[in-house]
Structure 1
Amino acid sequence: MAGLSVREELDSLLLQLLRDFEELEAKRAALNARVEEGWFSLSKARYAMGAKSVGPLQYASHMEPRCCVHTSEAQDGLQRLWMVKTAGRRPEDVGPQEPALRRRKGLSKTPQPEPSAGAQDPLNWFGILVPQSLRQAQTSFQEGLQLSADMASLQIRISWNQRQFQELQEKLKQLEPGPA
């Protein structure tokens, strides 16, 4: 009787693995399409603006990331990854904040200048009026980053399910010894 429930668990786990592999393959195809589209748009932008107008010489000397990867652990022990846009904040500032002491009335706080949104957008490194193809390249690569995080989470889940599957197979072998 116990062998039957282990077999049912194996079957459901195998079906889940197959669904995960199918989803992973779809995400890989989508990622390849996004990256290819991004490179094509980038080459169109280089053609429109000139080869020397879009290149490493236009990069800022100090860059801050516009997105970060966050991880969390679910109740079953699986890790999940996802992308978070930083919106001009440093990566250390993104995420849960610890409670801090507040300053009471009386002492005035000097306002710190906020970085302008234009300075944070890397497209502005290449000029004010950038071609639409450069914007499309940026969007394609951003979508590719999100797909990469999704694929990493999915790969973690697949590895965990494979280990569970192997453990159940060993358990089934112990319950139902076959011909040696």
Structure 2
Amino acid sequence: MAEMIKLDIVCILLDKLYLKALKLMEKHIQAKICLELCMCDGETYLTKSRYIMGQNQVSFLQLPTEDSAEFESIARVHTGDDNTYGQKLFDLEIKKQSNSDNRFQNPLNWFGVLVPQDLHKAQDKYQQALSWCIQSANIQTKAKLVIEE
């Protein structure tokens, strides 16, 4: 009788772990779908900007090279410990730039002063995609821990 109770407890624990793993897999798939949608939207807005400004105005030629001045990125990824899972999780920090701070350079300025609204939208979509990447990586970390249990 005691073995039957222990077996029931083990079955219940395994069921809970499987459900938790399935929920995390579903969240991961949703995050990947949202990431793909953001990337597609960003590419569409970038294409519209190229059409409006001309193909030579929005190209890799405007990107900084090795000889360019140093600058800090607007977005930064930090790692931190999660108390509930005991794993390292990622956190995205997007800094708001001020006019007086020259360390941070807005990438839109590489393409000119007056850029189309579609280029701003593309930047927003790519920032959202970066956020979805971070969220997806965190879900993967949690799922890995659940699977190891």
Q: TM-score range by the shorter chain?
A: 0.7 to 0.9
Task: Give, in angstroms, the shift of residue 26 of structure 1.
Answer: 0.8
Partner-residue secondary structure (3-state), 1:120? coil
1:106 is aligned to none
1:81 lines up with 2:90 in the alignment: yes
Unaligned runs of 5+ in 2: none
How much does 1:36 deviate?
Answer: 0.6
Cα RMSD (Å): 2.1
Q: Which of 7, 16, 19 pairs up with 1:15?
A: 19
Structure 2 length normalisation: TM-score? Answer: 0.84
Using the TM superposition, name which of 45-54 and 64-73 deviates more.
Answer: 64-73
Give a deviation string over 1:14-53, Cα, whole Å, max 9, x none: 1111111111111111110100111111011011101110
Calculate the TM-score normalised by the size of structure 1: 0.71
Conserved? CA contact 2:73–2:105, under 8 Å = no
Q: Which consecutive unaligned segments of at least 5 residues does structure 1 have?
A: 89-113, 165-180
What letter matches 1:52 in structure 2?
N
Matching residue within 61, 81, 86 for 1:57:
61
Aligned-pair identity in percent equals 30
Within the candidate set 65, 72, 88, 2:80 is matched to 72
Point out 4+ residue stretches in structure 1 off by more than 4 angstroms.
Answer: none
Deviations 1:74-133 (A, max 9, x none): 233222112012445xxxxxxxxxxxxxxxxxxxxxxxxx4349x621112211211111
- Please state if 1:147 is matched with 2:132: yes
Work out which of the two has the higher radius of gyration on C-alpha atoms and give 1 or 2.
1
The 1-side partners of 2:32 and 2:75 are apart by: 21
Q: Is 2:146 the partner of 1:161?
A: yes
- The amino acid across from 1:78 in the alignment is Q
Give secondary structure in 1 for the equivalent of 2:72.
coil
